[in-house]
Structure 1
Amino acid sequence: MNAATADKLAEVVSYVFHPLLVVIPTLVIAMVRLGSTLGQAIFWTVLSIVSVNVPMAILLFWGVRSGKYSDASVSIREQRTSIYAVGGACLVILLAVLIIGKAPVIIIACLISAVIATAIGYWVNRHTKLSLHSAAMAGCTAVLLWTVPLIGVIMAVFAPLVGWARIRLKHHTPVQILIGWMVSMICVFVVFQLML
């Protein structure tokens, strides 16, 4: 594989397993597996998309267009503070709505894990970047390993590919990939152990 082909593959992998996308099927699958109807799972997932994914996508689009962010991956560590602040605020608001709305316990556990991982990511970002792609991939893999092990194993096979893509595109180092994996997987497993 030549360099141009490898770069193109890395870009495709980064888009397919984007943090704002990979969580969508994960939430639906986990909720249905633990007893929600497909309609309920779709409702809570769409609410999550509107509350978190859409505002974050708008922030990224605006940030790149205005020059506030260097690129769609927000490759410069110092520029990521607003990503964590807005993302964290959106997650906390969504968590409150889920609790008040008596959402399924699994999605509440996912959101608590995400809030904790985001807070840790904010702290880590003061020293080095944490790969959000790897964090999302590892968090979703952990959720699926807990709820639907076979799908979780399939996701686990793709996690190193996502890490390779982020390194290949020079957005992250191997250490930043590992930090992303560890933070989110530990958060999911600890919260799930306490709540499910």
Structure 2
Amino acid sequence: MMRKTQRLSSSQMRVSYLEAGQGAPLVLIHGVGMNAEAWYPQIEALSARFHVIAVDMPGHGESDAFSRPVSLPDYVAWLAEFLDQRPESRFAVAGHSMGALIAAGLAIDYPERVSHAIVMSSVYRRSDAARQAVLRRAQELAAGSADLDSPLVRWFGDDEHETALRERVGGWLQQVNLQGYADAYQAF
């Protein structure tokens, strides 16, 4: 598995990604606050049969953040531009959480580029209360006042078997570009 970077031709944004394996191309897109490393177990398993490309979303991992206010279609267009610069013509895309929204958007807006779409833990019919909670979190992040560890309480229990994973995920959250995280949360 190798970490690589690619510059987008129109925006000059740097896209960082992990790449491994050979075969049909499979793009993995993580959720808000994470990075491509969140896919390590899947990359290891899937690279035996696929050419796996796990991207860091804008403002996450080692990818550049957007330099302007953005919405979900901007993330979809970002991924489409990244894929347009690749030698392959069609991709299976799999996304988790916000990555699932990007994968679904790519399949809808750029069907000629998508051979398969896997949508995991995506938003569906979010309640008004849940929507308000997400918007509040986005505002807190934008103001720089959000507790970056608070998602860990929702995502993990107190089980000692989850401790190492919780610490790893917590480390990713502490390293995230705050503006990129806030932008993604707002789009989410």
Higher fraction of strand? 2
Higher helix proportion: 1
TM-score by length of 1: 0.31
State the structure with bigger RCO (CA 8 A, min sep 6), 1 or 2.
Answer: 1
